Structure 1
Amino acid sequence: MDQILDQDALALSAALANGQLTAEQLMRATLDRIAMRNPDLNAIVGLRDADDLLAEARAADNAPRKGWLHGIPIAVKDLSNVAGLPTSMGSPALAGRVAKTSDIMVQRMQDAGAIVIGKTNTPEFGLGSHTFNPVFGATQNGLLPGRSAGGSSGGAAVALSSRMIAVADGSDMMGSLRNPAGWNGVYGMRPTWGLVPSEPAGDSFLHQLSTNGPMARSPADLSALLATQSGPDPRQPHGLPAYVHESLDVDLTGRRIGWLGDWGGAYPMEDGVLDHCAGQIQRMSDLGCSVIQIAPPFDASALWDSWTTLRSFAIAGSLGSLYDTAATRDALKPEAIWEIERGRALTAVEIQRASNIRSDWFRAAVRLFDKVDAVVLPTAQCWPFPLDWTWPQNIAGVAMDTYHRWMEVVVPASLIGLPAVAVPLPPTAAGEPMGLQFIGRARDDRRLLELAQGWHRINA
Structure 2
Amino acid sequence: MVGVGDSARAMAAAVAAKEVSARELLEVHLERIDAVNPTVNALVSIDPDRARASADAADARTVSGEPLGPLHGVPVAIKDTHHVEGWRTTFGSPVMADHVSASDELIVERIRAAGAVIVAKTNTPEFASGSHTFNPVFGTTLNPYDTTRSAGGSSGGSAAALASGMVALADGSDMGGSLRNPASFCNVVGLRPTWGRVPTWPTWNLWETVSVQGPLARDVGDLALLLSVIAGPDPRVPTADSTPGATFADPEPADLRGLRVATTIDMGGAFEVEDSVAEVVRAAVDGLASAGAVVEEAYPTLPNAESAFRVLRAWLMEYSLGDLLDSEPEGFKASLADNIRAGRPLSGHDVAVAYAQRTALAQRAHEFFGRYDVLAMPVSQVPPFPAEQEYPSTINGRAQRTYLDWMRSAFFVTVTGCPAMSVPAGFTPDGLPVGLQLVGAAGSEARLLQIAAAYEALSGAGRRRPPLPAA
TM-score (norm 1): 0.95
Residue in 2 that maps onto 1:298 = 302
Alignment of 1:119-130 (within 5 A): 119-130=121-132
Give the one of 168, 171, 195 matched to 1:169: 171
> How far apart are 1:65 and its partner, in Å?
4.7
How far is 1:271 from its partner? 2.8
Give the 3 Å change call, closer, same or farther, for CA 364–51 of structure 1 in structure 2. closer
Distance across 2 between alignment mates of 1:247 and 1:440: 15
Which residue number corresponds to residue 27 of structure 2? 28
Which residue of 137, 140, 146 corresponds with 1:138? 140
Aligned to 1:221: 222
Partner of 1:76: 78
Once residues 20 and 203 of structure 1 are traced to their aligned partners in structure 2, the CA distance between those partners, rounded to angstroms, is: 45
SS at match of 2:331: coil
Hey, what does 1:379 align to over in structure 2? 379
Indicate the SS of the match to 2:342: helix
Q: Tell me the equivalent position of 1:107.
A: 109
Q: What amino acid is the match of 1:129?
A: S
Deviates more, 1:217-226 or 1:289-298: 289-298
Could you tell me which residue of structure 2 aligns to residue 235 of structure 1? 236
Runs of 4+ in 1 over 2 A off after TM superposition: 50-56, 246-253, 285-288, 295-299
What is the aligned partner in structure 1 of residue 467 from structure 2? Answer: none
Number of aligned positions between the proteins: 453
Contact conserved, 1:260 with 1:296, CA < 8 A, in 2?
no
TM-aligned CA deviation for residue 418 of structure 1: 1.0
TM-score under structure 2 normalisation?
A: 0.93
Match of residue 6 from structure 1: 5
* Mean Cα deviation higher: 19-28 or 232-241: 232-241
How far is 1:350 from its partner? Answer: 1.7
Correspondence 1:308 to 2:310: yes
The one of 179, 184, 187 equivalent to 2:186 is 184
Q: Flag the 1:370–1:138 CA change in 2: closer, same or farther, 3 A.
A: same
Deviation at 1:60, TM superposition (A): 1.4
Local SS of the residue matching 2:224: helix
| CA-CA distance at 1:71 after TM superposition | 1.1
Structure-2 separation of matches of 1:263 and 1:389: 26
Cα distance in 1 for partners of 2:8, 2:67 equals 15
Q: Secondary structure at the match of 1:304?
A: helix
After TM superposition, give the deviation of residue 55 of structure 1 in Å.
3.6
Q: 1:279 aligns with which of 273, 276, 283?
A: 283
Deviation at 1:321, TM superposition (A): 2.7
SS in 2 for 1:171: strand
- Summarize deviations over 1:382-427 as a string: whole Å, max 9, x none: 1111111111111111111211111111122211321011101221
Amino acid in the other structure paired with 2:279? D
- Assess if the C-alpha contact under 8 Å between 2:261 and 2:296 holds in 1: yes
Q: Distance in 2 between matches of 1:138 and 1:247?
A: 35
Paired with 1:407 and 1:249, the residues of 2 have a C-alpha distance of 29
Counterpart position of 2:55: 57
| Contact 1:264/1:296 (<8 A) preserved | no
In the TM superposition, residue 80 of structure 1 has moved relative to its aligned partner by 0.2
Q: Distance in 1 between matches of 2:219 and 2:226?
A: 11
Q: What does residue 19 of structure 1 align with?
A: 18
Question: Which residue of structure 1 aligns with residue 440 of structure 2?
Answer: 440
Separation (CA, whole Å) in 2 of partners of 1:409 and 1:216: 22
Alignment of 1:348 onto 2:352: no
Deviation at 1:219, TM superposition (A): 0.8
Structure 1 contact 297–368 (Cα < 8 Å) conserved: no
CA contact (8 A) 2:379 2:435 kept: yes
Note if contact 2:365-2:416 (Cα within 8 Å) is conserved in structure 1. Answer: no
- 2:274, 2:395 within 8 Å by CA — same for their partners in 1? yes
Asked whether the equivalents of residues 325 and 331 of structure 2 are also in contact (C-alpha less than 8 Å), the reply is no
Task: Letter of the 2:409 partner, please give it.
Answer: V
SS at match of 2:94: coil
For 1:166 and 1:291, locate their aligned partners in 2 and report how far apart those are by CA, in whole Å: 34
Shift in alpha-carbon separation, 1:142–1:203, aligned structure 2, 3 A: same
> Structure 2: any 5+ residue segments left out of the alignment?
461-471
Deviation at 1:274, TM superposition (A): 1.1
The CA distance in 2 between the partners of 1:307 and 1:441, in whole Å, is 19
Contact kept, 8 Å, 2:54 with 2:118, in 1: the verdict is no
For residue 330 of structure 1, give the secondary structure of its aligned residue in structure 2.
helix
Q: Which residue of 1 aligns with 2:450?
A: 450
- Identical amino acids, percent of aligned pairs: 39
Matched, 1:257 2:261: yes
In structure 1, C-alpha distance between the alignment counterparts of 2:233 and 2:395, rounded to whole Å = 41
Return the alpha-carbon distance in structure 2 between the equivalents of residues 424 and 17 of structure 1.
30
Give the letter aligned to residue 240 of structure 1: D
Question: Aligned AA for 2:13?
Answer: A
Match of 1:361 in 2: 361
| CA distance in 2 between partners of 1:180 and 1:344 (Å) | 30
Distance 1:363 1:51, change over 3 A: closer
Counterparts of 1:114 and 1:178, CA distance in 2:
23
1:296 Cα offset (Å): 4.8
Mapped to 2, the partners of 1:404 and 1:114 lie a distance apart of: 34
Q: Is the 8 A contact 2:280 2:426 kept in 1?
A: no
Rounded to whole Å, the distance in 1 between the matches of 2:200 and 2:56 is: 32
User: Offset at 1:166?
Assistant: 1.1
Mapped to 1, the partners of 2:272 and 2:86 lie a distance apart of 44
Counterparts of 1:286 and 1:232, CA distance in 2: 39
**Contact 2:110/2:229, CA 8 A, preserved across alignment:** yes
Give yes or no for contact 1:65–1:113 (8 Å, CA) kept in 2.
Answer: no
In the superposition, relative to structure 1, how do residues 239 and 345 fare at CA in structure 2: closer, same or farther (>3 Å)?
same
Consecutive unaligned residues in structure 1, runs of 5 or more:
none
Tell me the CA shift for residue 138 of structure 1. 0.1
Q: Could you tell me how far 1:455 is from its partner in structure 2?
A: 1.2
- Aligned amino acid, residue 320 of structure 1: G
Name the residue aligned to 1:211.
Answer: 212
Q: Secondary structure at the match of 2:261?
A: strand
Q: Which residue is 2:466 aligned to? A: none
Per the alignment, in what secondary structure is the counterpart of residue 93 of structure 1?
Answer: helix
Deviates more, 1:424-433 or 1:366-375: 424-433
Contact 1:219 1:449 in 2 (8 A): yes
Supply the AA of the counterpart residue of 2:100.
Answer: V
Task: Measure the CA separation in 2 of the matches of 1:368 and 1:151.
Answer: 29
